Chains A and B, each alone.
Chain A
């Protein structure tokens, strides 16, 4: 036995097999040119860093020696801030919320003063709390964050006529939500509160990635839902759900490959996990006619198909070692991975900013009170200042041009 002997064990493949396979390969379209890259992310990131630093320094100078809420030291409103409710009912500085004493939270055991109350949705609550910790507290202020069950609830709270009797909190003066106010909501605010300033602060966006070894294939939100939901519609019993039986992509859609469904993504209760659920899964769920009569879309499956990762930064490395798997990550530079288009649209800054990318949603900040713009400036500047961190932790992107 020798090298030659081992080499002689090789055989030529059957000619008819080679011919059949070749004819199948010939049916595939010729390779296109180099795929578009996500090159603008690097430029955007650099711009954000530079602009954020400049703005933070400017804000620091402007606020130096600020005694508190003195009207003369209020920063100017953000240029992109647009009044939603018309200034039919001008507000005065007296409409700024009165300080509310809350339980002590700092090491000095002094009572913290809640200068502002903000309302948002449950999925954005950790993010808004993070802004509070990162900026407001550091500047000797505090912001109470409350969460509504939905955007409609949060905006209703912002535009409510009376103070909430249940919680005993003053009416919120800030709302961070994932869609724009409707006309009726705006009218309601105008009637109950007066001026409301609207600022488009950024986007929350996720993307799907995979090792370049296998290349990318496009998935629709409906296909993502059918692959990842714990329960899916039972075709034999309309209106009822059954445990998700899909284990390969071709189970979801016969046109997809017969490859095992293997997805790595954020934890279901994390900010990004909730965003994945709200942006992708619920959109996919509601796009299916068989789900029309189902009240609540199912949770992400827990049978091993979906692997939860505590830190999204670990996902790219995991994808390199598990090239068959698909990763769900905050939108950004794909690095050495391939972007999987959603609904045929790859994640890109252009697609996110023109609202054509199904994996993203806008973020709007609403602040009540015509003369009370400081929180808006604070949040906008914090968005700038923490742009890199918030993208990784919360999948939130601050667009160029959001400079307050």
Chain B
């Protein structure tokens, strides 16, 4: 074969190879990739909410308003030394000859996450000093405006606490209201 014909053949082959080479990546380019790096920093946390006791509605277990939250209310009704309490869920009792006690129990649910804390300390305090001859108590502890430990090492979960209000019969008629602060601290 002459040189010119050989060259034409080579050129044709090169063109074909070029077409193949260009054609292959053209198809492969219909796919792309990207990366999204996800990061977070997990922090330990704990929760305290007030819950109705399982015996809610029976004597000594009044329902909470906003149960299931950390900002609930407990209505103890209207009470007097002579007539007792207006609400059947309130437990009424006389202490001695001149003091009456109204009480209701509720639950405190403390949970924790992302920590190996085995238990927690529960402290309580009241918002303001009560009138004379009025005593607010959580279980057996008399409440003051200073935080005090109610339980030093509660296991996580539900605990039942009972609020008492003790009123001497010399206390003038009035509305008695307090806000009680609960603080749970992981041990």
**Are A and B co-members of a single complex?**
no
